[in-house]
């Protein structure tokens, strides 16, 4: 620390020394506050980056799902009409296809945790850690 040589009573030198210490402590607190503010800003930016990456991935999956949904809907109508035409009555094709999907739904319901829940959780956790 630099001391100013002041011609004052003996206590004058201590006052200057205390003012220098006060300034140093204030400077230290300002740096700590600035560091904490910077760290908070970095955490916010990282959270925004992660959430925007996850959101863009989810939106992409939704769009792909909708497009393939329309494709499979139209394909199923065509298959049901074809089956119905082969059997002789169009509505039989729709009944047969509905029975197939009911059976597939029951199987999916039985294995939903293994086939859907666990992979979905793993995908979300993986997305958060990237």
Q: What is the pLDDT of residue 23?
A: 79
Would you place residue 127 in the very low, low, confident or very high pLDDT band (cuts 50, 70, 90)?
confident
Would you place residue 16 in the very low, low, confident or very high pLDDT band (cuts 50, 70, 90)?
low
Q: What is the mean pLDDT of residues 29-53?
A: 93
For residue 130 the two structure tokens come to 């990237």
Determine contact, residues 57/130, Cβ cutoff 8 Å: no
Q: What is the pLDDT of residue 10?
A: 52
Give 14 or 31, the one with higher predicted confidence.
31
Q: What is the mean pLDDT of residues 55-73?
A: 95
Rounded Cα distance, 128 and 126, in Å: 5
Average pLDDT, whole number, for the chain?
A: 86
Rg (the chain; Cα; Å): 35
- pTM for the full model? 0.52
Determine contact, residues 76/97, Cβ cutoff 8 Å: yes
Q: What is the mean pLDDT of residues 4-20?
A: 57
Segment holding 128, helix H or strand E: helix 118-129
Q: What is the pLDDT of residue 1?
A: 45
What percentage of the chain carries pLDDT values higher than 70? 83
pLDDT above 60 for 34: yes
Give 81 or 18, the one with higher predicted confidence.
81
């Amino acid at each position: 620390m630099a001391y100013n040589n002041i011609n004052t009573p003996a206590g004058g030198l201590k006052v200057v020394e205390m003012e220098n210490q006060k300034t140093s402590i204030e400077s230290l607190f300002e740096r700590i506050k600035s560091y904490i503010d910077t760290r908070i800003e970095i955490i916010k930016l990282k959270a925004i980056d992660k959430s925007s990456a996850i959101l863009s991935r989810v939106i992409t999956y939704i769009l792909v799902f909708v497009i393939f949904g329309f494709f499979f809907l139209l394909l199923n109508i065509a298959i049901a009409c074809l089956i119905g035409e082969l059997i002789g009555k169009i509505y039989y094709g729709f009944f047969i296809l509905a029975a197939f999907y009911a059976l597939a739904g029951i199987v999916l319901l039985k294995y939903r945790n293994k086939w859907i829940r666990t992979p979905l959780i793993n995908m979300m956790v993986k997305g958060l850690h990237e």
